Amino acid sequence: MFRHTKLLQFEAKPERPDPVYARKLQELIGGAYGEMTVTMQYLFQGWNCRMEGKYKDLIMDTATEEIGHVEMLATMVARLLEGAPSTVTAEAVKDPVMAAVIGGMDPQQAIVAGGGAMPQNSQGVPWIGSYIVASGNLLADFRANAAAEAQGRLQTARLYNMTDDPGVKEMLRFNLARDTVHQKQWLAAIEDLKADGLESSLAPTALFDEENQDHNNTVWHLSDGPDGSKGGWSFGAEGLEYLMKPEPLGGPGTAPKPDPALYGTYAPPPVGGATALRE
Amino acid sequence: MFRHTKLLQFEAKPERPDPVYARKLQELIGGAYGEMTVTMQYLFQGWNCRMEGKYKDLIMDTATEEIGHVEMLATMVARLLEGAPSTVTAEAVKDPVMAAVIGGMDPQQAIVAGGGAMPQNSQGVPWIGSYIVASGNLLADFRANAAAEAQGRLQTARLYNMTDDPGVKEMLRFNLARDTVHQKQWLAAIEDLKADGLESSLAPTALFDEENQDHNNTVWHLSDGPDGSKGGWSFGAEGLEYLMKPEPLGGPGTAPKPDPALYGTYAPPPVGGATALRE
Amino acid sequence: MFRHTKLLQFEAKPERPDPVYARKLQELIGGAYGEMTVTMQYLFQGWNCRMEGKYKDLIMDTATEEIGHVEMLATMVARLLEGAPSTVTAEAVKDPVMAAVIGGMDPQQAIVAGGGAMPQNSQGVPWIGSYIVASGNLLADFRANAAAEAQGRLQTARLYNMTDDPGVKEMLRFNLARDTVHQKQWLAAIEDLKADGLESSLAPTALFDEENQDHNNTVWHLSDGPDGSKGGWSFGAEGLEYLMKPEPLGGPGTAPKPDPALYGTYAPPPVGGATALRE
Amino acid sequence: MFRHTKLLQFEAKPERPDPVYARKLQELIGGAYGEMTVTMQYLFQGWNCRMEGKYKDLIMDTATEEIGHVEMLATMVARLLEGAPSTVTAEAVKDPVMAAVIGGMDPQQAIVAGGGAMPQNSQGVPWIGSYIVASGNLLADFRANAAAEAQGRLQTARLYNMTDDPGVKEMLRFNLARDTVHQKQWLAAIEDLKADGLESSLAPTALFDEENQDHNNTVWHLSDGPDGSKGGWSFGAEGLEYLMKPEPLGGPGTAPKPDPALYGTYAPPPVGGATALRE
Amino acid sequence: MFRHTKLLQFEAKPERPDPVYARKLQELIGGAYGEMTVTMQYLFQGWNCRMEGKYKDLIMDTATEEIGHVEMLATMVARLLEGAPSTVTAEAVKDPVMAAVIGGMDPQQAIVAGGGAMPQNSQGVPWIGSYIVASGNLLADFRANAAAEAQGRLQTARLYNMTDDPGVKEMLRFNLARDTVHQKQWLAAIEDLKADGLESSLAPTALFDEENQDHNNTVWHLSDGPDGSKGGWSFGAEGLEYLMKPEPLGGPGTAPKPDPALYGTYAPPPVGGATALRE
Amino acid sequence: MFRHTKLLQFEAKPERPDPVYARKLQELIGGAYGEMTVTMQYLFQGWNCRMEGKYKDLIMDTATEEIGHVEMLATMVARLLEGAPSTVTAEAVKDPVMAAVIGGMDPQQAIVAGGGAMPQNSQGVPWIGSYIVASGNLLADFRANAAAEAQGRLQTARLYNMTDDPGVKEMLRFNLARDTVHQKQWLAAIEDLKADGLESSLAPTALFDEENQDHNNTVWHLSDGPDGSKGGWSFGAEGLEYLMKPEPLGGPGTAPKPDPALYGTYAPPPVGGATALRE
């Protein structure tokens, strides 16, 4: 069960409205690597965690924090939209600056949300549940979490350069810091998984003996040029080697004769095996 | 530019049809962590790579291999569907085994694809471009790649246990091996990025001095119970510490007064600042 | 900012696993009227509320409760999936009961979530941000909320009849009760909006004088049969009347001549205005 | 079965093109509360109505009218796009006004539709079937309908303020009026449902005795601040009361031990019940 | 504007319920090539048609018919669901036949629609606006229409073989016939476009002189094996020839140096142009 | 299996960046008729082709070429974005030209992709698997292919007029040419299917005798005005005739009495069959 305080985790007010930037901030709210994603990803991972204790608690700590990040960003968006042009566009576009602002705004923030944030990315695409993963395997999930925080920090950093409003930048400096913490913590938690003997460095820690041993160490050279062979992966890192001239191992890929009731186009191959249709 | 050989990268034929399993294999084709995802993720990363050389070549090598994995799986699905029931369901459900098969099948594999694979997951949800990321920052992307291969190998391992068909298992042993290789190579490539001085261990390698230094090392305790403090992240791993009693740093989150032209519900706050509506 | 306790708002354990039912419960988690929807709808409405005080607080009270409902349901799903068949399907389908179970399961709960809940509906369609609305107009939004709780309670009631597991039924009896409370409270809050003079009975409380006065009271008879005229709406309820023989008020709908650079198919109309192409 | 007349239900021609506004109007065509939504929602409700007579006929009357509203709006969009810039953008952006127009346009209206409307919202997101509901329970559905018309009228009112073109405003005055009628009629129809003894004021009119009687009247205080207790819902409206200090009723939410074949991360809890991993 | 009669265009009642088949019929309602698609595709094409007369009228004739097809199918689905199991699944799955039925049903037809059709395909994926096209170019659109009717008839034919209910088959015989008519009419209309001198055989009838004349007649051999050269397209059909040994015409695809503010991974190429990172 | 060369199939460099145009080009990459669509459509058709030989080889030849077209366009987008404004928007919008550019840009190309292409259309909607079809029936599929190439060429032609950059135009002249080739080849392949006796002119070539013979030749007049009768389809083309006064063939569409456990609103019809609710 959850409880809410009205106080924001961190707060900074913009000096002036900036509706174009309000649209861009939607990426951090409802984009594939925005705060809705990490909120839901961590909540489902926590609920789906199979082992009580430090891992589950860390996940739920972080999940709970992330709900508050959506709150911070949604509040900032509403403030950035204060005084945004909501009136006659035909008139407005005669003033170039106003016009440019209108061109760059998210029209739904006005028409649908009445001047507030939407659960969508900077292009207006709604947030979708398939952005998240909660597999029950903590190594696989923590790696996904570290990746999500990396992409999230990267997008925050890009957005940091797109404003010079001191209030917005102050908030983003907090967000950058939290993305740093969360990257670190998932990397640290992966180390704990190994130290605790729960997982190895590859996920899942299973079926290594059953997998095809002839093909679990070779990087295949399938795009021309020599440089693919110049990385650590060609010189034994992780036990890998570079296969310079790989060849297909299988025969032709063929789909079976169709079921007549499904009306796939088909003619029996001619005697001798060659195709002979109107040659 | 690409070229295609009809020969499959690896091939194994199923001993018998299994349309229920053919539906499940869709997860590896068009699921969030299926082969369409890694194909497109690596292609876009390669095309968007900002630096010629070993990294770009490795990405393109792998991208090109993955197209062939979609091919292998699509071919396997068609073979598993050979002889799948395509006729009268009302009759079929009188035979319990046949009925169960029909219940577990993907109806679109018959109705739409005529007995073949679809670009969708095991629940029939179409593959979507937002599954992938290609940010131009190689550390962020390689971490996402290692995560994707981990989730992919995990799903493959789960599916491996859901069949006892020797042909299917043989193919999956190859897929497991390739997912192992690809996890290893992205981890190795991350080490190369560091060794080459291109990125650090956190993405992006930027703005560390500008981010809020008071909050870039503390894990906040926001979910009850003491166990969150028992991991390495509480004992200095990655320089982190656990903040046992965190408090909100901001004031109340408030949205500004609405623009009248947007008809948000609003009454001015009463004199004295307290809300006084019909109390 | 939010805080989390590990204790569930309400808890009841299933007597036995039921993976087919676990799939159905997904509708209450990630369906259009599931708990993810009311969680996010109320959160965004609260953050977007333009007036501090009782309305905003009620919204946030309820939003915070709903996060805990997703938690209750996700936990229930994991428990219902305990011992669900995760192994060889070809073998399993020889046992009709087992086979039926497999046919009715959500394959992603096993393959993707490792035996847990997914952020999606009972057909596997991911939850999507466009399920929610937060317009800033409280009358419009509370009406949407009352509607959502009505659909939610209806679906819960249907699901209540689809199980006889005492534990599941006990949980659903709680959910039914909460859906009752929430329907009541949004209806009560609409009365408060009127009593407080903030909104009328139609949303938005604006432009009534500007709207077309000839057409704001007539129900148009556009589907044959006489019964449309037999409801209260034909006898003055809400000031309405039934227009038995409505006629179009406009001329033909025509799109303008295309821009040549857009290559719309076009020929100038013949002299005299009639179409004369190869008649 | 349906029939079509070329005459529009209502028609008003714009005085001048306005491609930026043409994009915004897409919200009323293909947004979550646009005309496609009410068209399809009412059609499916009518087809799914379980009782011949006045309710079904009212639904079908309205559904049929709404198809004509999509037509009116699509025609208006085509007219607003007449003469929209379809040529060289690099040149155009040198003229600030033209540039602003281009920035604010929906590029697909030109590239895909050749200067016409698209089945999508103002951000280009395609209309989707999950916007609609047709549950068979008329109380639940009429409440959803009243909510949809409220959101629709709200968005129309916002758009009304964003143009000063007399023709567009004239059309929108008609749309506002129809949204008023439809709100009224669904509210009137809800009263009829009660008067006819078919439904009560809560949906569904069932399981009230079975639902948990301890928890079907209390609003839980889960977000801080005292104002949540100041509304009618705290003073007996709808029989409700406000629970100022609610506590969780359940124990810890725990997911069961994972199936080994699914590779969830797991270690057995240590003797004594405490977690002991590397503490 | 539209009008509706309660009478179905064609009607046939099923002899018995068949909920598994009711799910499959969803493909014809809300699938990519179902009746919702052709309804909306033709409506938008008609509203977007740039030329009054026979083409526009044919489009609107057909669009109006298709709405009635959705109606026929939705009615059939409701009838096929009569008496479908809506109760205790755990009990039901003990009866293999009942269990199989439950496994094969669309759970949302019961839980969401109360025993009726949904605006979605046979896998539960909601209908989406991007299934349709209305480009304003009649040749391009009529070809898309002929293709849609072909896929639609194919799916109808496959479904025809999946039932032996005389009532269902009678309805499908009508649907097959209408799909035949509509294929024919769009092919006939394409011939009219040519005879009227409005379009040629390729869309759009423009820029043929500007397109690259060296590459507008050659089929490139990019997949191994000799058979690609054995079709009419290699022997002058449509003026085509088969290019047996095509070579890339461009240089390496390279993305430019990244903007530093976007943090793409980058190192300047070493002097001499070769990549020299840790070689 | 596939192989990749770094050389582009065709290459032309833009003379100058044009980020507004870079957004528009997304339509050709990830739109419904963009290169990702034809790539995946042809790949799945090839893998699902039931007959070895010239048809399958042609499909795979073309599929392989199309992957390279995505590559060409993604490379072009990265080049057009070189130097695109990635900095302070509030400042930038003071310069009208810069502001206009920002308004017309795809913000995700900067924030998510770091200055590169995304797998989405010009409005930011992600590419989706349901854009493609691979039915196994070659007539149905080749017709869909010819339609896709027609829409693709049309969009390319529209985009050709929206730039005057010689490099971009040179590339598009190649794309136009390839779209011409591919239209021609699918039309030629349809002729081969007929010449080879594999399919007729309507898909599928089946059930013509079983379909309802009374209704497989009549175009129904359901939209007013006389012009629908003036096309070839009214004068015997394809054996069709125009039915000027069609009437419904069925009775009223009615849904059955609801299952009480599903709570559909219902009252038994009164004795005598008339509805008598509060009349």
The pLDDT confidence band at residue F85, using thresholds 50, 70 and 90, is: confident
Q: Which residues of chain E register pLDDT less than 50?
A: 274-279
pLDDT of residue D97: 73
Taking residues A155-180, what's their average pLDDT? 97
pLDDT in tens, C110-143: 999 999 999 999 999 999 999 999 999 999 999 9
Which of C12, C11, C24 lies closest to C166, judged by CA?
C12
Structure tokens belonging to residue E245: 């040994």
Residues 6+ apart with CB under 8 A from B94: E97
Contact E100 B93 (CB under 8 A): yes
- Angle between helix C35-47 and helix C54-80 axes, rounded to 10 deg: 160
pLDDT of residue B275: 45
pLDDT of residue C278: 39
Contact F82 E256 (CB under 8 A): yes
Residue % of chain B over a pLDDT of 70? 94
pLDDT of residue D87: 67
For C43, C143, C146, D155, the CA distances from C201, given in Å and listed in that order, are 24, 10, 14, 17
Residues 6+ apart with CB under 8 A from B266: B257, B258, C50, C51, C198
Element (H, E) at B220: strand B218-220
Tokens 């009358």 -> residue: C139
Tell me which residue in E93, E111, E199 faces C20 most closely, judged by beta carbons: E93
Contact B258 C193 (CB under 8 A): no
Residues F173, F219 within the same domain: no
More confident of the two residues D197 and B87: D197
Q: Which residue of D has its CA nearest to E30?
A: D129
Tell me which residue in D7, D44, D130 faces E117 most closely, judged by beta carbons: D44
The pLDDT confidence band at residue C90, using thresholds 50, 70 and 90, is: low
Residues F52, F135 within the same domain: yes
Residues D79, D47 within the same domain: yes
pLDDT of residue A272: 58
Tokens 């073979």 -> residue: B79
Residues F88, F218 within the same domain: no
Contact C127 A126 (CB under 8 A): no
Structure tokens belonging to residue C221: 């008879």
Contact A68 C1 (CB under 8 A): yes
pLDDT in tens, A124-145: 999 999 999 999 999 999 999 9
Mark out chain D residues that contact chain B at CB-CB < 8 A: 154, 157-158, 161, 227, 230, 232, 261-263, 275, 277-279
**Subunits with 3+ C-beta pairs closer than 8 A to F:** A, B, C, D, E
Q: Is residue D12 part of a domain?
A: no
Taking residues C38-50, what's their average pLDDT? 97
Structure tokens belonging to residue A275: 């195709």
Residues C181, C213 within the same domain: no
Tell me which residue in F158, F261, F263 faces C262 most closely, judged by beta carbons: F158
Tell me which residue in E97, E124, E278 faces B94 most closely, judged by beta carbons: E97
Q: Is residue F270 part of a domain?
A: no
Domain CATH number, residue F174: 1.20.1260.10
Q: Is residue C5 part of a domain?
A: no
pLDDT of residue D226: 84
Element (H, E) at D242: strand D241-243
pLDDT of residue D93: 65
Residues C30, C157 within the same domain: yes
Q: Is residue C1 part of a domain?
A: no
Rounded Cα distance between C40 and C132, Å, is 7
**Subunits with 3+ C-beta pairs closer than 8 A to B:** A, C, D, E, F
pLDDT of residue F93: 66
pLDDT of residue B277: 43
pLDDT in tens, B100-111: 777 788 999 999
pLDDT in tens, A65-83: 999 999 999 999 999 999 8
Q: Which range has the top average pLDDT, A115-119, C102-106, F267-271?
A: A115-119
Contact F115 E204 (CB under 8 A): no
Structure tokens belonging to residue E231: 């079709």
Taking residues F77-98, what's their average pLDDT? 78
B8-12, B50-54, B76-80, F103-107: the lowest-pLDDT one? F103-107
pLDDT of residue C279: 36
More confident of the two residues A268 and E13: E13
Residues E116, E234 within the same domain: no
Residue A26 three-state SS: helix
Taking residues A36-49, what's their average pLDDT? 98
Residues A146, A169 within the same domain: yes
Rounded Cα distance between A134 and A140, Å, is 9
Contact B112 F133 (CB under 8 A): yes
Asked whether the predicted pLDDT for residue D213 surpasses 60, the reply is yes
- Calculate Rg over the CA atoms of chain A: 26
pLDDT of residue D100: 72
Q: Which range has the top average pLDDT, A219-233, B92-106, F84-98?
A: A219-233
pLDDT of residue C271: 62
Q: Is residue B263 part of a domain?
A: no
Q: Is residue B57 part of a domain?
A: yes
φ/ψ (deg, to 5) at B185: -70, -35
Of A195, A230, A263, which closes a domain? A195
pLDDT in tens, B206-262: 999 999 999 999 999 999 988 999 999 999 999 999 999 999 999 999 999 999 999
Global pTM reads 0.95
Averaged pLDDT score across all residues of chain A: 93
Residues A60, A159 within the same domain: yes
Q: Is residue C43 part of a domain?
A: yes
B89-98, C148-157, E102-111, F114-123: the lowest-pLDDT one? B89-98
For E38, E41, E142, F227, the CA distances from F231, given in Å and listed in that order, are 21, 20, 14, 8
Structure tokens belonging to residue B192: 């190369």
Contact B230 D277 (CB under 8 A): yes
Taking residues B193-216, what's their average pLDDT? 96
What residues in B contact C195, CB-CB < 8 Å? 278
Asked whether the predicted pLDDT for residue C274 surpasses 70, the reply is no
Asked whether the predicted pLDDT for residue A279 surpasses 60, the reply is no
Let me know the angle formed at the C-alpha of B25 by B24 and B31, rounded to the nearest 5 degrees.
90
Tell me which residue in A154, A227, A261 faces E275 most closely, judged by beta carbons: A227
For chain A, strand residue ranges (E) read: 2-4, 218-220, 241-243
pLDDT of residue B49: 97
Rounded Cα distance between A253 and A255, Å, is 7
Q: Which residue in F223, F230, F242, F247 has the most chain C C-beta atoms within 10 A of its own C-beta, making it the best mutation to test that interface?
A: F230
The DSSP symbol for A120 reads B
Residue type, F196: D
The DSSP symbol for F269 reads P
The pLDDT confidence band at residue C184, using thresholds 50, 70 and 90, is: very high
Contact D100 F103 (CB under 8 A): yes
pLDDT of residue D84: 79
Q: Is residue E4 part of a domain?
A: no
pLDDT in tens, C13-34: 999 999 999 999 999 999 999 9
Which of D277, F213, D183 lies closest to C211, judged by CA?
D183
pLDDT of residue E275: 45
pLDDT of residue D68: 98
Total domains in chain B come to: 2
Contact C48 A78 (CB under 8 A): yes
pLDDT in tens, F204-226: 999 999 999 999 999 999 999 88
Mark out chain B residues that contact chain D at CB-CB < 8 A: 154, 157-158, 161, 227, 230, 232, 261-263, 275, 277-279
In terms of residue numbers, what domain contains D223? Answer: 208-246
Residue type, B55: Y
Q: Which residue of C has its CA nearest to D171?
A: C212
pLDDT in tens, F164-191: 999 999 999 999 999 999 999 999 999 9
Q: Which residue in C172, C234, C262 has the most chain F C-beta atoms within 10 A of its own C-beta, making it the best mutation to test that interface?
A: C262
Residues E89, E120 within the same domain: yes
Residue E33 and residue B111 in contact, taking contact as beta carbons nearer than 8 Å: no
What residues in F contact A253, CB-CB < 8 Å? 47
Residues E94, E227 within the same domain: no
Averaged pLDDT score across all residues of chain E: 93
State the nearest Cα–Cα gap between E12 and chain B, in angstroms: 18
The pLDDT confidence band at residue D276, using thresholds 50, 70 and 90, is: very low
Residues D223, D189 within the same domain: no
Tokens 């009361």 -> residue: D241
Residue F152 and residue F66 in contact, taking contact as beta carbons nearer than 8 Å: no
pLDDT of residue A268: 85
